[in-house]
Structure 1
Amino acid sequence: MSTAADRGRPGHFWDPKINAMTQTVLPGFHAVTDEKDLALVTLLGSCVAACIRDPQLGVGGLNHFLLPGDTNGDQKSARYGVHAMEVLINDILKRGGSKGRLEAKVFGGANVIDVSAAETVGDRNSRFVADYLRREGIRITAQDLGGDRARRVFFFPDSGRASVLKLPIADNRRLRNEEMALRSKAQAAPKAGGVELF
C-alpha cells in the first residue's frame, strides 16, 4: 500500500492496476533500484527495454533506448543502445551487483515505424540487445521482442518479476508518431554525454 510519503516522491506513482508503487522510465533514460515492491515502468513501440538485475542482491534496473547506435560513431547518449546498456550495467555494479550474477529480460522492438522496410528499427533494436547481452555473458531469462503491438512493461527488480501489457493496435499510430519525433530529435540533437508475465 502507498503512503503519503511514497506519493510525494518525484516520479513515483501508485498504480492500482498492479497494486504497487511505480517509477516511469522515459525514452533515453534508465533507473536502478533495490527498493522492495517498486515497479519500473516504460512504454515501448520499436524501442527496447533491457531489465537487468543481480538476483542475489535484488538490485536491478531498466533502460529504454531508441536506436542501437549512432551511425556517426558517437554513442555517448542513453538514447542509443550501446551507451544505455553500459550505464545501466555500471549503475547496478556501483550498487554492489556482480556482473557474473546478472540476468536480463528484454522487451520491445515492435514494428510500429518503417514497417515496410526490409529491416525495421524494431528488428535492429531487438538484434542489438540480444547480441550485446550474449557478448557480455549476461543470460536472458525471458524475452518478448518483435511483433506489431506496443507494450507497457512493468519490472520489479527486487524479485525479477516482469509483466507486459500489449496495447491495442489502435494505439500504434499515436506511439509511432511519438517515436518518429523522438527518433528525429535523437538523430538531430547535439551529441551529449491481456497481461503476460515473464
Structure 2
Amino acid sequence: MSSRAGGGSASYFDPKIGARAISVLPGHHDVTQETDVAVTTLLGSCVAACIRDVDKGIGGLNHFLLPGEDRSEAGARSARYGVHAMEVLINDILKRGGQKSRMEAKVFGGANVIDVSAKDTVGIRNAQFVKDYLRSEGIRLAASDTGGDRARRVYFFPSSGRVSVLRLPASETRTMRRTETQLERKVQQAPRGGGVELF
C-alpha cells in the first residue's frame, strides 16, 4: 500500500529497474511499504530525502524546490519548501507505524543547474538544509549524493533501503535547467501572501 500525495505521484512499471515504480513530482512526496516497489523522482537543483523505518520497511521520498519554509504573510505551508516537505514525509511514515528512532535517510540532488555562476547556489542551499534538518531531528544520514552539475533520476526501494541513481546526460540536464528556471520565476513572481500553482 502506498500513499498518494495530492495527485503528485503516479504508479507504473519501469523497465530500467524491472519493477513497479511510483513517480513523485516536485513539491510532493509518496510513502509505500510494498516489497520491491521503488519511489522515484527526477532532480536538478531540487533535493529528495529518502527516509525509511529500517525495521518495518516503510518509507518514501519527497521532492522540494526551495530550502527553509514559506515566510509569506499568509503563512501557506507548501511542500515546495524544505521544512514542510520533511514534516509531511516523516509524519506519513509515522502514521503507518514507523518510529523516528528507527529511521534512516539518504539524500540526493542539489546539482548546480540553475544559478551556475553563483558560489552559493540553490542546489547547495537545498542540500545543506536537508542535512541540517536531519541532524536536528536525530535521523541518521546513511548516504548522500549531492552537488555536481548533472541532473539525477533516483529510485528508492523503502523495503530494502536500496537506491539507484542515474546521472542524466548533459542534454537532459539542460532541459531540466530550463524547467527549474521557469519554476523559480513563478515562485518569485507569486503575489506576497498568495498561492501559486506550479505543477
Give distance in 1, aligned partners of 2:69 and 2:35.
36
- Identity rate, percent: 66
Give distance in 2, aligned partners of 1:153 and 1:21.
14
**Unmatched tracts of structure 1, length 5 or more:** 1-9, 193-198
Specify whether residues 11 and 83 from structure 1 end up closer, same or farther in structure 2 by C-alpha distance, changes over 3 A only: same
**TM-score scaled by structure 2?**
0.87
Task: Give the corresponding residue for 1:195.
Answer: none
Alpha-carbon deviation of 1:70? 4.4
**What is the one-letter code of the residue matched to 2:21?**
T
Do 1:53 and 1:160's aligned partners in 2 also have CA atoms closer than 8 Å?
yes
User: What are the residue-to-residue correspondences of 1:35-50 with 2, within 5 Å?
Assistant: 35-50=34-49
Do 1:47 and 1:108's aligned partners in 2 also have CA atoms closer than 8 Å?
yes
**Unmatched tracts of structure 2, length 5 or more:** 1-8
Do 2:70 and 2:81's aligned partners in 1 also have CA atoms closer than 8 Å?
no
Do 2:31 and 2:60's aligned partners in 1 also have CA atoms closer than 8 Å?
yes
State the secondary structure of the residue aligned to 2:52: strand
Alpha-carbon deviation of 1:169? 1.6
**TM-score scaled by structure 1?**
0.88
Task: Give the corresponding residue for 1:122.
Answer: 123
Task: Give the corresponding residue for 1:168.
Answer: 169
Give the superposed CA RMSD.
1.5
Give distance in 2, aligned partners of 1:75 and 1:55.
32
Q: How many residues align?
A: 183
Do 1:112 and 1:150's aligned partners in 2 also have CA atoms closer than 8 Å?
yes
Q: Does 1:85 align with 2:86?
A: yes
Task: Give the corresponding residue for 1:146.
Answer: 147
Alpha-carbon deviation of 1:187? 3.6
Alpha-carbon deviation of 1:126? 0.6
Task: Give the corresponding residue for 1:16.
Answer: 15
Alpha-carbon deviation of 1:71? 6.3
Do 1:43 and 1:150's aligned partners in 2 also have CA atoms closer than 8 Å?
yes
